[in-house]
Structure 1
Amino acid sequence: MKKKRDKIRDHSAETHLFLRRALIAFLGVIVLIVILLITLTHLQITRYSYYSTRSNENRIKVIPIPPNRGIIYDRNGIPLAINNTVYQLEIIPDRIKNLNEQLAELKTIVDLTDEEIDNFQKERRNYPASSSVPLKYKLTEKQIARFVVNQYRFPFISIAGKQHRYYPYATTLTHVLGYVSKINDRDKARLIEERKIKDYIGTSNIGKLGIERYYEDILHGIPGYQEVEVDSRSRIVRQLDESPPKVGEDIYLTIDLKLQQYIERLLAGKRAAVVAINPNNGEVLAMVSSPSYDPNLFVDGISAKEYNALLSDPDKPLFNRTIQGTYPPASTVKPFIAIAALSEGVITTDTVFNDNGYWQLPNTDKRYRDWLRWGHGRVDVTRSLESSVDTFYYRVAYDLGIDRLSKWMTQFGFGERTGIDISSTEENRAIMPNREWKQQRYKQAWLQGDTIPVGIGQGYWTATPLQMAKALTILINDGQTKTPHLLMNTRSTHFGEGLSLNDLPQTMSPLLLSVKEKYWDVAKNGMFKVLYGSQGTARRIFANMPYRAAGKSGTAQVYGLKMDEVYNAKNIPEHLRDHALFIAFAPYDKPNIAISVVIENGGSGSSNGGAVARRILDFYELGDASIQIDESILKMRQGD
């Protein structure tokens, strides 16, 4: 039986099958080897650069080093904006699988809040993949200690020291300095458009307002980098290379901090604005908007509660009254109108008008009242300024007409931005009305009656405190324009020789160039008599001054009085009371300071506005407000 089965088995066929299978297996191995060789060639030769880079990206990390932001100083070298080192918690979200769980655990360890987590989730969109994203700012020593003890539980979370912008004088200079805050989507889009985005790698803040925004390119600096080798948990093993950053430029402002602080104290509790300028070169010595707010709240991102509190504050602390507040300039413009009227031949230095308490628009029953109901009698141009005679300027405005009036006032800077080194988007042009403006704004023709209130700085006319101060410097300099500016110079490090605005070319329009010298003197003399003349509207406030000055008051109506209505502040809601305005310069013969004062709903310009102006001039010229002013005078209504 066995032999029979052996005869059936075909050894030759089996051998042939084995050899065929062995050949197929061998060919398979050859094919696999060829595939392996091709793959190795592709990986090691053809795609070497690509995979080498990918490998190095995992092993070698380039850490951007943000530059230190330049320091901002006042004119005397007092630091106004500095950098402090603070410690913040940073996280690499792309490396953490259980991110939400770790964030929840950090709530108890470092007092992480839900608002901070929400801000982190929004902020991480602005960072490249696998980059560290700030999670919590300004850690306390206690929070740092608790995290260090538990750090082994959070491999991709670390503590880092960062430079933090700090404003040591808080509310005092907010509306001058502005502030830095987080780079948002609009900032990022602008930086990309301007091809500056590479300079902000590793930087989370950017200048948002004021000086911080206007001189951002100078203050920011140029980033550096650090090339390091890291392990699988992104911990630094060793440093391979480093390129240090170039620090931002330090800048010196024209601001006098002591004067700024003194004015801020004077305006405490008021809605007001003061601008002080050196008329010789346009340096802004002080620029105070009251009330103000603490810019430090915005550096790391203000909370919704704090921001809503600022927005809902009826006194509007976020509003920069010096360049955004627009007010009827009132009688402060009478010296400028007098120059226009004299130059146009509408009046002469000998012209005399009789004031019986009102001026009547020709061919109508419309009467425009003087602030002194029984009138001032016979008035020439000097007396019109000394006693601020409204009727004189009603008639002058009527004779000049809105075309010439608007043309001249534009030369003094009204209705135009001043050119100050703050973003033009922050500065209001205000309104110097004319025919075209009214047609465009109201689709109505200009009427004769529209011109009359413009003659006393009312009607459609509005101006900012900075515009009023600039106009005053033009008058002081007999028509020459000194552009207001805040930058005095920079401390040169890597931007070349540094920058200064004191050497800006000064301009003078052909129209103002045509003004006779004696007309400038008439206007200044009239302003001098406002303070020292027997009928001067501010003579009591400026009595017993050890130096000579000049000024002009203004009282701006917030709403129009009826024909026979008598103004009585006690019977009027506070927000409808008159604004108090005052412009002044000193010393009279050789001015070194020109100021404009606006106190919202402050009442009389001559007494209340004049009292603030007097104290400021005393402080600047004498070193303090050494001469006391009788407070009972402040309660009097002295007219304009």
Structure 2
Amino acid sequence: MRPRRRATLNNTQQEISLFRRRSIVALLVVVLLMSTLIGRLVYLQVIKHDVFITRSDNNRMRVEPLPPNRGLIFDRNHRVLAENRPTYNLTIVRERADDADETLRLLVDILNLPKDDIALFERRSRQRQRPYQSALLMSDLTEAQIANLAVNRYRLPGVDVEAQLLRYYPNGYVMSHVLGYVGRISEKDLKRLDAGNYAGTHFAGKLGIERFYEDELHGKVGYRTVETNARGRALRELDRTPPMSGKNLTLTIDSDLQSLGYRLLEGKRGAIVAINPATGGILAMVSTPGYDINKFVTGIGTKDYRALQEDHDLPLYNRAVRGQYPPASTVKPYMALAGLENGVVTPQTTVYDPGYYRLPNDSRRYRNWLRWGHGRVNMRRALRVSNDTYFYTVAHDMGITRLSDFMKRFGFGTDYSMDVWGAQSGIMPSPDWKRGRFNKPWYPGETLSVGIGQGYWLATPLQMATAAAVLANKGKWVRPHLAMKVGDTPIAPPFAETPPDVELKNSQWWHLVDQGLEDVIQSNEGTARSLKRGLEYTMAGKTGTAQVFTLGQNQKYNASELRERLRDHALFMAFAPVDEPQIAIALIIENGGGDHLAAPIGRKMLDAWLLPRMKKEAAVAAAPDIEELASGASDH
């Protein structure tokens, strides 16, 4: 028989007490939770109100930079040298992409690009000044690429196709070493550029005039505030500060003369620089071979760039301003003036030339270019026939210190150009220079080599043309420059930091040297006598031949027996007309084998500049004046 369970009675008082305790705990929990919620609401709505309202506006509104239009570049006749053409660029904002790396991989697949471009896109996507700013991935998209991107837009958050103006150079090869080029802004560029002013700008000047006048050509960035939807697409514009376009740049370059110089040097390695002596404006600055600067704007391919770098003719090398060559016999007119100014020679001094010069107590013979010599020569004839022995004598009697100091007055050894990017200073040697460079003393034989523009003396074609302009001006200095106008502001002398004019003790010495240089062209024994045929103006000129390697005592130079790159450089400098010079020129042909190639090219350049102006002046002079027309009308 099962035992009976004892009956229990409910304790009502105990149950009420338990219920009250539980109710109080529940109430406390509710109060605590409500307090926490209210505190959070107060924190968000009151304390952090400004922060979150700003974030809300940022989600709804976006400030976008408006890049300015880059200024155009014109030649002196207002022909376009650098313009802007419309194009479409591919950009990405990494912060708006869900997975930036995956998006970049997807882009490569959609555009059917090489897999290697993923790493390239990754690097470019990080080249920007600040967060939430677009980074340029590709430039100059094709219509097919734009269509593929439009179809797949929903798969590419943060990616956009932007319409923008892209730099274009109509004469890329001919103007390559004058203009330089613009290119994508690199990490190195970001360190020198104003991040605020370059927001939204993907290109900047890299070389040449584009780099030197970058601030003026770029302009000022603008901004607009737009309202966006949840996907970040702009719905409407709320506010706008328009950008300020860059200033147009007008150069002193004459594109016709520049193109002629390029054609004359085509197939050769060389340089031509032509300057207006009155203003210092550079009329032509040619370096051959050139290269297509348009390829650098959108980013040149690795294969094409390697081909330019490995080309033995060095098309990327600007010979006109960076090439440093022995100026050779083109320095003899300055040597003549140095000898006169330092009292070493007079206009009547003669030197006997047996075909060589020997230093006192030295058996070595420093040969004249004409092995049997020119006999007795004075200064004018020494210039006419380019006699080495005469100038060996002048150099030895003057000494290297006085020689060097005088040549520096014509700009040798220093870059005095105003706005020529990358111009080198050359070398005007002296004992102090050699001691600092090689820790060796100066020897008398080295002075003789410098006396005929050889040895350690190096100059750029720009420096040679500058010195020729100073000579044409009878010592008056005007700094060479490329800009004629920046915007509407003309660039004209006098210029700051212009060297002092070259003043001589006797001003007639300028005319003596001019006569010698005219004889180079007009005399039957002048070294450039072939140029006088059909010459319609007065020309002063000087030929030069710079040795690439030194001949032995009894060796004879024969260009036909040497490899092409061991042949002498051919040089020529000239100015015209002699009394009222309008153009000064210097040119070099590397390994030209002698000066017979350079002088005819110089003549063609001078003809191209002077003859049309002479014909125009003649036509104006021949036209009847107003009084004659009036009197003729009254007769009828």
> Does the alignment reach a TM-score above 0.5?
yes
1:44-63 aligned within 5 A: 44-63=45-64
Tell me if the contact between 1:284 and 1:484 (Cα under 8 Å) persists in the aligned partners: yes
Q: Which residue of 2 aligns with 1:446?
A: 442
Assess, with a 3 A threshold, how the Cα gap between structure 1 residues 259 and 115 changes in structure 2: closer, same or farther. Answer: farther
Distance in 1, matches of 2:268 and 2:31, equals 92
Letter in 2 for 1:500: I
What displacement does 1:507 show? Answer: 4.6
Q: Which residue of 2 aligns with 1:122?
A: 123
Indicate the SS of the match to 2:126: helix
The reply to whether residue 547 of structure 1 matches residue 547 of structure 2 is no
Assess, with a 3 A threshold, how the Cα gap between structure 1 residues 118 and 252 changes in structure 2: closer, same or farther. Answer: same
1:427 corresponds, among 423, 444, 450, to 423
Letter in 1 for 2:254: D
The reply to whether residue 598 of structure 1 matches residue 588 of structure 2 is yes
Letter in 2 for 1:40: L
Q: Which residue of 2 aligns with 1:323?
A: 321
Q: Which residue of 2 aligns with 1:43?
A: 44
Q: Which residue of 2 aligns with 1:310?
A: 308
Structure 2: give runs of 5+ residues left out of the alignment: 616-636
Q: Which residue of 2 aligns with 1:156?
A: 158
1:367 corresponds, among 365, 373, 386, to 365
Distance in 2, matches of 1:5 and 1:183, equals 94
Assess, with a 3 A threshold, how the Cα gap between structure 1 residues 615 and 141 changes in structure 2: closer, same or farther. Answer: same
Letter in 2 for 1:589: D
Distance in 1, matches of 2:239 and 2:213, equals 31
Distance in 2, matches of 1:531 and 1:567, equals 25
Q: Which residue of 1 aligns with 2:206?
A: 208
Distance in 1, matches of 2:612 and 2:239, equals 55
1:62-73 aligned within 5 A: 62-73=63-74
Letter in 2 for 1:532: Q
The reply to whether residue 536 of structure 1 matches residue 530 of structure 2 is no
Q: Which residue of 2 aligns with 1:633?
A: none
Indicate the SS of the match to 1:170: coil
Q: Which residue of 1 aligns with 2:244?
A: 246
Distance in 1, matches of 2:4 and 2:95, equals 73
Let me know the Cα RMSD of the aligned residues: 2.0
Deviations 1:513-550 (A, max 9, x none): 24421111111111111000121110113322111111
What displacement does 1:239 show? Answer: 1.5
Letter in 1 for 2:409: Q
Letter in 2 for 1:608: L
Tell me if the contact between 2:472 and 2:578 (Cα under 8 Å) persists in the aligned partners: no
Deviations 1:31-69 (A, max 9, x none): 222222221121112112222222222221111111111
Indicate the SS of the match to 1:489: strand
Indicate the SS of the match to 1:314: coil
What displacement does 1:304 show? Answer: 1.2
Distance in 2, matches of 1:505 and 1:547, equals 34
Q: Which residue of 2 aligns with 1:347?
A: 345
1:202-351 aligned within 5 A: 202-351=200-349
Deviations 1:81-113 (A, max 9, x none): 111110122233333345555444444543333
Aligned length: 612
Deviations 1:586-612 (A, max 9, x none): 11221111000100001222x211011
Q: Which residue of 1 aligns with 2:90?
A: 89
Tell me if the contact between 1:116 and 1:136 (Cα under 8 Å) persists in the aligned partners: no
What displacement does 1:73 show? Answer: 0.6
Distance in 1, matches of 2:205 and 2:66, equals 19
1:504-523 aligned within 5 A: 504=495, 507=498, 509=500, 512-523=502-513
2:565 corresponds, among 560, 575, 581, to 575
What displacement does 1:491 show? Answer: 2.2
The reply to whether residue 188 of structure 1 matches residue 186 of structure 2 is no
What displacement does 1:506 show? Answer: 8.4
Indicate the SS of the match to 1:458: coil
Q: Which residue of 2 aligns with 1:618?
A: 607
Deviations 1:337-358 (A, max 9, x none): 1001001110001101111111
Assess, with a 3 A threshold, how the Cα gap between structure 1 residues 508 and 162 changes in structure 2: closer, same or farther. Answer: closer
Deviations 1:217-269 (A, max 9, x none): 10110001111122222111222111110000001000000110111010100
2:399 corresponds, among 401, 404, 408, to 401
Distance in 1, matches of 2:390 and 2:108, equals 72
Distance in 2, matches of 1:317 and 1:515, equals 45
Distance in 2, matches of 1:619 and 1:299, equals 32
Indicate the SS of the match to 2:64: strand
Tell me if the contact between 1:481 and 1:506 (Cα under 8 Å) persists in the aligned partners: no
Deviations 1:126-179 (A, max 9, x none): 233343333322111222223323333334323211111111111111111111
What displacement does 1:28 show? Answer: 1.8
Q: Which residue of 2 aligns with 1:476?
A: 472
Q: Which residue of 1 aligns with 2:630?
A: none
Q: Which residue of 2 aligns with 1:637?
A: none
Q: Which residue of 2 aligns with 1:635?
A: none
Assess, with a 3 A threshold, how the Cα gap between structure 1 residues 499 and 44 changes in structure 2: closer, same or farther. Answer: farther
Q: Which residue of 2 aligns with 1:378?
A: 376
Letter in 2 for 1:621: L
1:455 corresponds, among 442, 451, 454, to 451
Is 413-422 or 375-384 further displaced after alignment?
Answer: 413-422
Is 124-133 or 19-28 further displaced after alignment?
Answer: 124-133
Q: Which residue of 1 aligns with 2:19?
A: 18
What displacement does 1:508 show? Answer: 5.6
Distance in 2, matches of 1:156 and 1:198, equals 21
Distance in 1, matches of 2:370 and 2:284, equals 34
Letter in 1 for 2:416: T
Tell me if the contact between 2:322 and 2:460 (Cα under 8 Å) persists in the aligned partners: yes
Indicate the SS of the match to 1:172: coil
Distance in 2, matches of 1:167 and 1:525, equals 43
Distance in 1, matches of 2:42 and 2:126, equals 39
What displacement does 1:328 show? Answer: 0.4
What displacement does 1:403 show? Answer: 0.4
Q: Which residue of 1 aligns with 2:552?
A: 562
What displacement does 1:509 show? Answer: 3.1
Distance in 1, matches of 2:20 and 2:5, equals 26
- With the length of structure 2 as denominator, give the TM-score of the two structures: 0.93
Tell me if the contact between 2:465 and 2:586 (Cα under 8 Å) persists in the aligned partners: yes
Tell me if the contact between 2:101 and 2:122 (Cα under 8 Å) persists in the aligned partners: no
Assess, with a 3 A threshold, how the Cα gap between structure 1 residues 60 and 614 changes in structure 2: closer, same or farther. Answer: same
What displacement does 1:124 show? Answer: 1.6
Assess, with a 3 A threshold, how the Cα gap between structure 1 residues 597 and 11 changes in structure 2: closer, same or farther. Answer: same
Letter in 2 for 1:380: N
Distance in 2, matches of 1:264 and 1:597, equals 12
Q: Which residue of 2 aligns with 1:500?
A: 491
Distance in 1, matches of 2:145 and 2:124, equals 22
Structure 1: give runs of 5+ residues left out of the alignment: 493-497, 627-640
Assess, with a 3 A threshold, how the Cα gap between structure 1 residues 508 and 421 changes in structure 2: closer, same or farther. Answer: closer
Is 366-375 or 533-542 further displaced after alignment?
Answer: 533-542
Assess, with a 3 A threshold, how the Cα gap between structure 1 residues 114 and 164 changes in structure 2: closer, same or farther. Answer: farther
Is 16-25 or 391-400 further displaced after alignment?
Answer: 16-25
Indicate the SS of the match to 2:456: coil
Assess, with a 3 A threshold, how the Cα gap between structure 1 residues 589 and 114 changes in structure 2: closer, same or farther. Answer: farther
Assess, with a 3 A threshold, how the Cα gap between structure 1 residues 106 and 506 changes in structure 2: closer, same or farther. Answer: closer
Tell me if the contact between 1:480 and 1:506 (Cα under 8 Å) persists in the aligned partners: no
What displacement does 1:446 show? Answer: 0.5
Distance in 1, matches of 2:111 and 2:496, equals 56
